[in-house]
Structure 1
């Protein structure tokens, strides 16, 4: 594990952090000038009303850093290109949605169906290119039984489901200052360690580039946030996380390492089903982070608890990987 912290990777972490923090100083005034302020939902927590007008679309900050870092650190092989494609393509969907709603001041951006179709197309391109590349495998690792499965004809639809589900799960997690960015830092560290263990240096370097970029973004996104990442950032992060899991053949470990994302999604699904079937709600509010806010937790406490949980889940996922696959 110590070998991952070599000079190159330390430079990636520090360089991405400094670059992201500097880019933030340049981008934030531009977002304010565009009047790209966040609208707060009427049915959300009342404590969030003070955030009305906070600049959004801040995901541009770490996306610009990633775009600079990919060529600078020599990550332009097939893995690096697919990683940045997935990140930027999903981020672009989020950007157009944010731009329509926030800058053009239209209440609705993309419809849910339009957004879903865009996500499916991007996921298909990702998995199609991967499946046709001689350098990349389409098997998936089953760490619990120390095996690898070739899903054959089911591989493409399965991976599309994983990618689209992950992207939307990360999107749902972006509801508190610093929550999605902090959770994704812990998940990206897991993927950096997993990539090192599985001998995928490009993916490991990309994961560390993402960690540094998000750490720099947190300078502005931590409580009280000066900027929100918006769909521009949250969909991009979902694309990055999903692509790392797919290229490392670890989609079956993703629900564990990214457990917070999936608990947030499950809380929304259960809430909707319960209300439609019984007329009663399971949670005080969904996604899950709002439930704890309604119970009286300060959002800083919610973020700390969720990040700690994410760290524990990532440690558990790494142990499954090391003792179930590598050995």
Structure 2
């Protein structure tokens, strides 16, 4: 546990030190957030707030893990996947903010990159980490093998996790706070199972979220952008794959699931009936438009994330 604590401290300190350097730099480059005009009107005042703050995740996660454990196979795989998803997000942000293409990367380009990275993760976990093709059944000591179906299953899990975190990133402190609880759950699980490298990585992920929240909590001084949200989602998805807890992830990351389902339901309802189920999706915007303050929505979602993560940990341990 001492290594885990040290990884978290290093990662958090790295964010706290790099933030005051990165944020003015992003502001000078005019890497400001574009705000949707059809969203909550209170968000319009956030226009121009520096985005792509997820860049600091690259440094904090790398230092937090490497300085404590060194470059082991597990840590190399976790970092490469996390940074790989972050680079996809960086390209998307760069195209939106710098090249002034509001839609960023084309959907098929982004999805292709995510699928390739998730596929490489699944293969590396099976071959280099000896993970096999078994998936644990939550709450039991049982597992089952997916055989050749495992790689497409793992790809679906990781890509879904990455995009779900991306959807959750819509309010100050929301995605970082929710991910903090998911990472903390994996820290407890991997520590209990004796997976030292993964617990150190999870500790660094917790520290990264804590450090970033210092700048991202309302009123946010910087947004993580797709650079950060895709990286966080890739990290959580990778932890699920390597620990064989893919089936636990929908509970452990319950807020991500609710946010994603709200978008799916909204799209299907509007296309079939021409009516919307929610005032706006993802779900956090529905509550904002229902009169909740941004801080209230974030606090309730954080509480929900803590509850989901606690239940998941209790089931496993």
Structure 2 unaligned residues grouped into runs of 5+: none
CA shift for structure 1 position 10:
2.3
1:246 maps to 2:241: yes
Query: 1:134 and 1:73, CA in 2 relative to 1: closer, same or farther beyond 3 A?
Result: closer
Matches within 5 A, 1:115-194: 115-133=110-128, 135-194=130-189
* Aligned residue in 1 for 2:73: 78
| 1:218 maps to 2:226 | no
* Contact 2:69/2:200, CA 8 A, preserved across alignment: no
Q: Deviations over 1:124-158 (max 9, x none)?
A: 11111112225433311112342011110110011
Residue 195 (structure 1) aligned with residue 185 (structure 2)? no
Task: Give yes or no for the alignment of 1:258 onto 2:258.
Answer: no
Q: What's 1:103 paired with?
A: 98
CA distance in 1, matches of 2:4, 2:152: 34
Please, which runs of 5 or more residues in structure 1 have no aligned partner?
1-5, 323-327
8 Å CA contact 1:75–1:81 kept in 2: the answer is no
Q: How large is the RMSD of aligned CA atoms in angstroms?
A: 1.1
Q: Which of 183, 204, 209 pairs up with 2:204?
A: 209
The corresponding residue for 2:227 is: 232
Q: In structure 2, what is the equivalent of residue 58 of structure 1?
A: 53
Secondary structure of the corresponding residue to residue 144 of structure 1: coil
Alpha-carbon distance between aligned partners in 1 of 2:229 and 2:293, rounded to the nearest angstrom: 22
Partner of 2:82: 87
Q: CA deviation at 1:261?
A: 0.4
Partner of 1:319: 314
Aligned to 2:5: 10
Contact persistence 2:86–2:228 (CA under 8 A): yes
| TM-score, length of structure 1 as denominator length | 0.94
1:261–1:75 Cα change, 3 Å: farther
Aligned partner of 1:40 in structure 2 is 35
Equivalent pair of 2:10/2:60 in contact (CA under 8 Å): no
TM (norm. structure 2) is 0.97
Q: 1:297 aligns with which of 287, 292, 298?
A: 292
d(CA) in 2 for partners of 1:134 and 1:22? 34
3-state SS of 1:149 partner? strand
Note closer, same or farther for the CA distance 1:125–1:155 as it changes in structure 2 (3 Å cut).
Answer: same
Kept in 2, the 8 Å contact 1:75–1:202? The answer is: no
